[in-house]
Chains A and B, each alone.
Chain A
Amino acid sequence: MAKRIDVSGLNAYYGSFLAIEDISMTVEPRSVTAFIGPSGCGKSTFLRTLNRMHEVTPGGRVEGKVMLDDENLYGAGIDPVAVRREVGMVFQRPNPFPTMSVYDNVAAGLRLNGKFKKSELDDVVEKSLKGANLWNEVKDRLNKPGSGLSGGQQQRLCIARAIAVEPNVLLMDEPCSALDPISTLAIEDLIGELKERFTIVIVTHNMQQAARVSDRTAFFNLAAVGQPGKLIEIDETERIFSNPSVQATEDYISGRFG
């Protein structure tokens, strides 16, 4: 299921503003890659270019190549909707659909795409909720509104919703920043389990979190406000946190920076 992502020479714009410049990196399958860096350096923008969500923002535009195994996501004739089924996404703030029950939220991806057999859906919902470590907490209230769950449960519901469509890659944009430490721990454990099946990319502001969950870490930075963000380095997480090859990375990680 999991696929490799190979990015080369990627620029992303908001209108005429160049937000991230010339990014090239490889994301290994069945591993967790963390993006760290100061606010505004383009981590989230870059993440959103990986499933063509960047162009949903008015004025959003991308140049360069993103290879998912051997297919260029920005090649001619590629359907962004199909890309997003392959590359799922979990957002910063938990955003379950307010009109839907817990069950419908998880089934949303399949149901909204037209796949429609009750017994099949039941299986997928159960499997996804189990996969998101949420099944035991919600199995008695599948028909209650999803927005009635706690913040941490809602975020795991969103993860269940994302993995229900069986993507190859799971992108997470600061998935724990709105959660308390216990919910965060639950999600971090979950990430550890999910990497057996998916390629995971996670943006985080919490460096301990990056150190805990990721196999590889990429450090992004920008020269000044108004300048495009750049990839400074990407390496094994252990090396980034113990012996990075660039001084700026070490400054950022040790807190000597901004």
Chain B
Amino acid sequence: MSHATLSPKRGGTLRGATLPKWFPWAVAVGSIAAGLGISAAAGLGSSIQWALIAAVLFVLGSYAISARIEGRRQAKDRVATSLVWVAFILAVIPLASLVWETVKRGVQVLDGYFLTHSMGVVADTEPGGGIYHAILGTLEQVGLATLFSVPIGVLTAIYLVEYGRGRLAKAVTFFVDVMTGIPSIVAGLFVLSLWVLILDMGPSGLAGAFALCILMIPVVVRSTEEMLKLVPNELREASLALGVPKWRTILKVVLPTSVGGIITGVMLAIARITGETAPVLLLVWGTDFINANPFKDPQESLPMYIYLQYSAGSDPAYDRAWAAALTLIAFIMILNLLARGIARWKAPKTGR
């Protein structure tokens, strides 16, 4: 009886006027042209200005045209869609331009020689030299930090999700939250005062790795915790009901189910600490020579190399800084891709 009263009111048709598929593209092209035209006419130099004009015109234009032809509801839908697109493009612009700029400037000196030589006998103002010592230092420091933080982080997360009840768990969660917010320079200062000043150890890759640990552990705990929480309780109960002890249940059922996500989290945490400069600057000091021993004497690392080369201020040093930045970005990108690959490979299979 309800549709009996409804359908006459609506006019009884399900069909409405629809704009063609290319409509948004046409409006986009039109508004960009209009934006360029307006800014040329008004003599505005900046590309930000015409882009803003074009974006506003795009949103308004799609609403106005669509409201006239399709009706208000579809017009609102188009406004929402175009706002999403504008936001997406705004977010992508800095990312794309960063990658573009780094690649453009970085490839100038990036070659096999650059990757396999140090800055040993090269002055900052001369061309040549390379980042071998920095790559080595970064790999060793990040490797050590990962070696320390992953077991601590994963075990903490297992405690919090599987065993933690009551006050201790709350306290641990609270401190993990606090640790997440520690600025990297403070982590560096903490290790500096404890390891270098009180225990009187010299600068080394290990000291840097300790500071990186402080930054990495909370990230690993958080991401692992989330992944473990995603494992359905039914699986734990199924295993327990088979007479499997709790620790074996965690080891053989819970962890394998979530290992893809945990590895992704660890990789992302590694990517985060690889770019840290401040603690490395305080604790590893930096050197122009190859030092393969992370336990003694200063080392180099990629972010610090970029910083030092950039502050050296000569043209060859700028080029080297860009090339090192490109190497760092590529390294982190490869880690991310690896993480995705592993996550996909380890994900619970549903195929028939």
Contact = CB atoms under 8 A, between A and B. Distances in A.
Partners in one complex: yes
Contacts of B249: 112
Contacts of A112: 239, 242, 244, 248-249, 252-253
A242 to B, nearest CB: 35
A97 B253 contact: yes
Interface stretch (B94-102, B230-238, B305-313): B230-238
Interface of A: 51, 53, 56, 58, 81-86, 88-89, 91, 93, 95, 97-99, 108-109, 112-113, 144-145, 147-148, 158, 161-162, 165
Interface of B: 165, 232, 234-245, 248-249, 252-253, 256-257, 348-352
Contacts, number: 90
B242 A148 contact: no
10 contacts: A81-B244, A89-B237, A95-B235, A98-B257, A108-B242, A112-B244, A145-B349, A161-B238, A162-B242, A165-B242
A84 B243 contact: yes
Contact of A148 (B248, B252, B350): B350
Nearest to B245: A81
10 cross-chain pairs, A with B, having the tightest CB-CB distances, nearest first:
A85-B243, A98-B348, A89-B241, A109-B242, A145-B349, A84-B243, A148-B352, A95-B234, A112-B244, A99-B256
A98 B252 contact: no
A13 B239 CA distance: 23
A85 B248 CA distance: 14
Contacts of A98: 235, 257, 348-350
A81 B245 CA distance: 6
A227 to B, nearest CB: 26
Contacts of B244: 81, 108-109, 112-113
A109 B352 CA distance: 23
A144 B352 CA distance: 7
Nearest to A90: B241
Given A82-B243, A109-B243, A165-B243, A97 B238 contact: yes
A113 B237 contact: no
A144 B249 CA distance: 22
B241 A53 contact: yes
Contact of B240 (A53, A144, A158): A53
Contacts of B234: 91, 93, 95
A68 to B, nearest CB: 14
A51 B238 CA distance: 12
A103 B293 CA distance: 48
B234 to A, nearest CB: 4
A162 B256 contact: no
Nearest to A56: B240
A5 B164 CA distance: 34
Contact of A51 (B241, B257, B348, B349): B241
A147 B241 contact: no
B350 A95 contact: no
Contact of B348 (A88, A99, A113, A161): A99
Nearest to B243: A85
A83 B242 CA distance: 10
Among B235, B241, B253, B349, max chain A CB count under 10 A is at: B241
Given A108-B242, A145-B351, A162-B241, 19 more contacts: A53-B241, A56-B237, A81-B240, A81-B243, A84-B241, A85-B242, A89-B241, A95-B232, A95-B238, A97-B238, A98-B348, A99-B256, A108-B252, A109-B243, A113-B243, A144-B351, A144-B352, A148-B352, A161-B242
